[in-house]
Amino acid sequence: MPQPPHDDVRGFLPDEEGLQLYHWARETAALGPLLEIGSYCGRSTIWLGQAAKEKQGLVFAVDHHRGSEEHQPGESHHDTALVNQRGEVDTLSMFRRNIEAAGLEDTVIAVVTRSAQFARSWSGQLSMVFIDGGHSLSAALSDFRAWAPRVMPGGILAIHDVFPDPAAGGQAPFTIWRLAEASGLFEPLKSVGSLRGFRRIAA
Ligand code: MG
């Protein structure tokens, strides 16, 4: 069984949602590489990575590591422990430390750039895509358009922070969840908290 990430691994993913990510990743990891968009300090990456490691798979963990809108100074989720000597939000060293401590350095490949930039140089299919990047509408749409089509048949698309009720949270992840549902390319899987999944239907 997987180990929940250590308590000092910062993040916004409850363990029950992480465990579901682990199960989906374990189901698909032997089919091809996994992609995570939005790693922050590695909490979800550790769940995905443990599954991939069991299956000799790989996780590409994409994050510019400069924090999303809500992580910037003065914003709701700013964390002063994640500010570098130049005063910038910088989650990369914390991410590296956490991945190393979890024994996942040979499984998790950190890709330090914006996901749209990485998409320009990636041509293959993915066994699983987990979208948990920027939560502005433009960021969520960009991630969805770039990566959802690259989930291979039988693979899984997972989206975090899906809140149908606007009072519960921002609507961008819910918007792309609805797009996936309406696309005819995916069948819904279970949801756990704000985590929702789809399986890509075979062409
Ligand atoms: Mg999230």
User: From the CA of 145, how far away is ligand 1's center (Å)?
Assistant: 18
Q: Which amino acid is at 110?
A: A
pTM listed for this prediction: 0.96
pLDDT at 122: 95
| Best CA proximity match to 43, nearest among 79, 89, 8 | 8
pLDDT at 202: 83
User: From the CA of 9, how far away is ligand 1's center (Å)?
Assistant: 14
137 contacts 177 by C-beta, under 8 angstroms: no
| Best CA proximity match to 52, nearest among 103, 92, 94 | 103
**Burial of 40: CB neighbours in 10 Å, binned 0-12, 13-18, 19+:** buried
pLDDT at 4 over 80: yes
pLDDT at 50: 98
In 10 A of CB 5, how many CB atoms? 24
Window from 50-59, 65-74, 96-105 with minimum mean pLDDT = 65-74
pLDDT at 167 over 90: yes
**Tens of pLDDT, residues 100-159:** 999 999 999 999 999 999 999 999 999 999 999 999 999 999 999 999 999 999 999 999
User: From the CA of 160, how far away is ligand 1's center (Å)?
Assistant: 5
- Active site positions, annotated: 135
